[in-house]
Structure 1
Amino acid sequence: MMKIKTLAFLLCSMANGLWVSAQQHAEQDHSKYVPPTDPLVQAKLAQWQDVKFGLMMHWGTYSQWGIVESWSLCPEDEGWCERRGPHAHNWYEYKKAYEGIADSFNPVQFDPEKWAVAAKNAGMKYLVFTTKHHDGFAMFDSKYTDYKITNTPFGKNPKSNVTKEILSAFRKEGFMTGTYFSKPDWNTPSYWWPYFPPKDRNVSYDPKKYPEKWQEFKDFTNNQIQELMTDYGQIDILWLDGGWVRPFSSIDPNISWQKSIPYDQDIDMARIAKLARQKQPGLLVVDRTVTGAYENYVTPEQQVPDHYMPIPWESCMTMGNSWSYVPNDPMKSTHQLVHTLLEIVSKGGNLLLNIGPGPDGTWPQVAYDRLEEIGLWMKDNGQGIYGTKPKAPYRQGKWAFTQKEQTTYAFYLADKGEKLPKQLKIEGLTLNSKQKISIAKGSTSLKHRDGVLQLSDKLVDSIGEQPAYLFIIE
């Protein structure tokens, strides 16, 4: 087994990778968003926009080495692609050793029902699970590859088809369910053709010169996606990653990372989406960064836009520093996570929060602790989140605003350790003394004059310290 020499190096590499990824998504021109026209897709999109808070999980054989997901296979001279361990000196040996992890991958403590209950209690309402990352390892029982979870020591376990088990467990708890799927596949010879060793993350040959080989890859990709759309129950979201696999005509020359894409890598999204929606009517298709008819909502990564966006969007972010499991990965505080959720929802988005399961099939205990703490806060304050719309001025000072019909929800984002002051002005809203204002925790009506709240010592003490305080204005 390869061992990471220092956790510090790993976290530095991960931070570099996350920064680059965030920059890539920051550059995308969201003014070109194309709304869906299918009424079933429109309805599903509206449903998704109402649920606000979801769970993502990056899980694969890479978890066993505790490394960045997939990227150490990529032969690019970037920090997040750097190899470590006894095989690092030789890319071919390293790739063989990496793919050999599957021979011992055996997550015997896998318990998706426990995950689903913890996520539900936190107030999460949708799931996106990594069925296949760029390394090509299928976390489902695909008949189109032998490089899959059911072809490991865990294959003898009755829950070995982990994608099916996870989707089923979360669906039973009322979640919308989504399948993350990597368009590039660094294991299949129709993408990284051994005749031409890969130079970078892209296909290793020119698809125009070898159209039969590229057609083989297109069919392989479509076949695996259709397996997921056929054999795994109701799917609400097809979440596609690897934005360099795209038509050459869709490359925006004003976006720096897209300039380096050398080939037309058109996998025929029209065909994929049409067949998928025949099986899953209303399916949301999220072809990330490929602006057009198959990016039903946009997905800024590891960041929150600095302004309200009037289109459907979701920030996908990690609870810790890493997308995949890393031993002792420091987790964000409950205070920070609640503030992030409010920052996103008040600007019109959803939060998709990632937790990386470990090689034994469990989450770190701290992840359960964070979800429990978020859930306690959501019990009192979720009414100002679910099913709401953003309300101008969205975010002002320490305030975040949402609305539902005639009700306005004003969240006061407290500093860490800050209790409510006895006198508090709601910034950014014009209010009159006839409007009823109450605080969510305890539903206590408050005295106010033109938006300046008067809070008693008894009330402040009874509410206690919270990451944020919700005021309901009617």
Structure 2
Amino acid sequence: MDLQVNMVFNTFIKVSAAKAFASLLFTVSAATAVQAQTDNLHRQSTTYEAPTDPLVIKKLDKWQDQKFGMIIHWGLYAVPGMIESWALCSEDWIERDSTIAYPDFKNWYWGLNKEFNPVNFNPEQWASAAKSAGMRYLVFTTKHHDGFNMFDTKQTDFKITNGPFGNNPRANVAKHVFEAFRKEGFMIGAYFSKPDWHSEYFWWPKYATPNRNVNYDIRKHPWRWDQYKQFTYNQISELMHDYGSMDILWLDGGWVRPLETVNDEVRAWGAPIPEFSQEVDMPRIASMAREAQPGLLIVDRTVHGPYENYQTPEQRVPDTKINNPWESCMTLGNNWGYVPNDQFKSPAKVIHSLVEIVAKGGSLLLGVGPKPDGTLPEEAVQRLAEIGKWLEVNGDAIYNTRATEQYQDGDTYFTQGKKGTRYAIACLPEGEAVPATLEWSGNAPKRGSKMKLLQNGKTVKWVKEGEKVKVYLPGTLSNTAGAYPALAFAFTAE
């Protein structure tokens, strides 16, 4: 750009609203963003190494009882309402306005820290909405790939406490989020991105930033990478020592990993993989973190080994039951963070996903993105409440359960409580009225035993016809179409 164009461009940045500028610069949105993210998801690792620490095993069992959690993506990307962080990444699946130079875009994006002022920040609203949804654990983004910190780290000035929100008594956002959810009885998880695209120890300004990886050869510049490892260690140490009791350290950015863990499975993801290790010294980090937080679950996503205590398939439900601890992380809308006019999934769709996930041995971590002012979208709050109404009466079939050998027959799924009670959960077609009878094969009740419908707590008539169980539903159930996303039954199995 020549001087005159630069002056015009700089003036435009100063006088334009962030949302309008984002719309011009970054065209990946709505359905396009969904497809782009789908093509670049964190794939689930297929190898699992069970923990041996008794405290971690105990914590993992407790976590598996919770079944339903909330993951909150909130950062600079909420200001323009765009895809989280990824617009900074110069890979061919990312679309930006071709008339804007890439360095100018990065400067604009990172400059959003001067505009991010969530004056209505209300973590109690978030915690209340999550509790009303029947959720029982939290994962909050303390830092995404863009490097903007939602906690008062001492390692960099690129943080929420160093901006227009800095003088607010609740400027140390993560602290107040964790406290609000603890008060509601949630298990607490800190999301932390291993890559940090704002750090000069990861993306060195000396070189271009061609993709998501560190942009220099670590083998040639070991000092710089050592600085990054210490930077990462120090930030995680702050989270583990200064923010109360932690249950989960949820590490994202699985391409930052030891070279020896890059196998054909990882290469098949299609993400660029350098020829050198991007190891951040997980043994040292884990030792420190668990000394501060005994029994801490560490979820080093996709990096199979001792620091991936549970697996994390993203935006999908696995095809079959998985015997290892696992969690599907999925969004309530089409995006992880806040995007205006996002299309939210119906409560029935979320409930059906939750039922299928739990029956296959997993947990559902549902993503919700707060608005730039610090409140949740009202439509999201309403949908969460509807999900909670179903769980309030049917939760026994979900919480504290484990997978059964036969976990599914068509649209009916099965779980088992720790005391042996078997549950059948029939997912009803969305928008349809309750039928007079339901049938499934397998998982038959003991002969002469009673079956209870959790929806009203009353026993229902059932018969076994060959291999099929036929259940007669009471006429007192509402015939309003869509009144029940699913019906759950409790019984003692043969």
TM-score interval, normalised by the smaller of the two chains: over 0.9
Matched, 1:397 2:410: yes
**Cross-structure match for 1:444:** 458
Paired letter, 1:15: V
Quote the offset at 1:224 in angstroms: 0.4
Q: Which runs of 5+ in 1 are unaligned?
A: none
Structure 2 CA distance for partners of 1:260 and 1:8, relative to 1, 3 Å: closer
Structure 2 CA distance for partners of 1:242 and 1:462, relative to 1, 3 Å: closer
Contact 2:460 2:474 in 1 (8 A): no
Paired letter, 2:288: L
* Candidates 53, 72, 80, aligned match of 1:57: 72
* Candidates 420, 424, 449, aligned match of 1:435: 449
Q: Distance in 1 between matches of 2:197 and 2:442?
A: 51
Quote the offset at 1:461 in angstroms: 4.8
Contact 1:18 1:302 in 2 (8 A): no
Q: How does 1:180-199 map to 2 (within 5 A)?
A: 180-199=191-210
Q: Distance in 2 between matches of 1:410 and 1:236?
A: 31
**Cross-structure match for 1:43:** 58
Q: Show CA shifts across 1:284-338 (max 9, x none).
A: 0000010000000000000000100000000000000001110010100011000
**Cross-structure match for 2:289:** 276
Quote the offset at 1:71 in angstroms: 0.6
**Cross-structure match for 2:471:** 453
Q: Show CA shifts across 1:40-72 (max 9, x none).
A: 000110000000000001000111011111111
Q: Distance in 2 between matches of 1:336 and 1:464?
A: 11
Q: How does 1:151-230 map to 2 (within 5 A)?
A: 151-230=162-241
Matched, 1:141 2:166: no
**Cross-structure match for 2:272:** 260
**CA RMSD between the two structures:** 1.8
Q: Distance in 2 between matches of 1:59 and 1:254?
A: 31
Contact 1:333 1:370 in 2 (8 A): yes
Structure 2 CA distance for partners of 1:92 and 1:462, relative to 1, 3 Å: closer
Q: Distance in 2 between matches of 1:367 and 1:49?
A: 25
**Cross-structure match for 2:14:** none
Contact 2:258 2:278 in 1 (8 A): yes
Quote the offset at 1:12 in angstroms: 3.2
Q: Distance in 2 between matches of 1:407 and 1:53?
A: 20
Matched, 1:108 2:123: no
Q: Distance in 2 between matches of 1:456 and 1:58?
A: 43
Quote the offset at 1:395 in angstroms: 1.6
Matched, 1:470 2:467: no
**Cross-structure match for 1:375:** 388
Structure 2 CA distance for partners of 1:459 and 1:129, relative to 1, 3 Å: closer
Quote the offset at 1:430 in angstroms: 3.3
* Candidates 325, 336, 340, aligned match of 2:353: 340
Paired letter, 2:148: F
Q: How does 1:273-422 map to 2 (within 5 A)?
A: 273-404=286-417, 405-422=419-436
Q: Distance in 2 between matches of 1:459 and 1:360?
A: 42
* Candidates 17, 34, 49, aligned match of 2:49: 34
**Cross-structure match for 2:40:** 21
Quote the offset at 1:462 in angstroms: 9.8
Contact 1:301 1:315 in 2 (8 A): yes
Quote the offset at 1:195 in angstroms: 1.2
Q: Distance in 2 between matches of 1:8 and 1:137?
A: 22
Structure 2 CA distance for partners of 1:219 and 1:107, relative to 1, 3 Å: same
Contact 2:192 2:250 in 1 (8 A): yes
Contact 2:181 2:188 in 1 (8 A): yes
Contact 1:252 1:259 in 2 (8 A): no
Q: Distance in 1 between matches of 2:134 and 2:305?
A: 31
Q: Distance in 2 between matches of 1:435 and 1:461?
A: 28
Contact 2:133 2:386 in 1 (8 A): yes
**Cross-structure match for 1:66:** 81
Quote the offset at 1:19 in angstroms: 1.3
Contact 2:116 2:372 in 1 (8 A): yes
Matched, 1:423 2:441: no
User: What secondary structure, in the 3-state scheme, does the structure 1 residue paired with 2:434 have?
Assistant: coil
Contact 1:400 1:412 in 2 (8 A): yes
Q: Distance in 1 between matches of 2:382 and 2:271?
A: 43
Q: Show CA shifts across 1:332-352 (max 9, x none).
A: 001100001001000000000
Contact 1:251 1:258 in 2 (8 A): no
Contact 1:21 1:301 in 2 (8 A): no
User: What secondary structure, in the 3-state scheme, does the structure 2 residue paired with 1:153 have?
Assistant: coil
Q: Distance in 2 between matches of 1:392 and 1:407?
A: 14
Q: Which runs of 5+ in 2 are unaligned?
A: 1-17
User: What secondary structure, in the 3-state scheme, does the structure 1 residue paired with 2:189 have?
Assistant: strand
User: What secondary structure, in the 3-state scheme, does the structure 1 residue paired with 2:407 have?
Assistant: strand
Q: Which moved more, 1:429-438 or 1:48-57?
A: 429-438
Contact 2:43 2:269 in 1 (8 A): no
Structure 2 CA distance for partners of 1:177 and 1:350, relative to 1, 3 Å: same
User: What secondary structure, in the 3-state scheme, does the structure 2 residue paired with 1:426 have?
Assistant: strand
Contact 1:131 1:139 in 2 (8 A): yes
Paired letter, 2:104: E
Paired letter, 1:408: R
Q: Distance in 2 between matches of 1:223 and 1:104?
A: 27
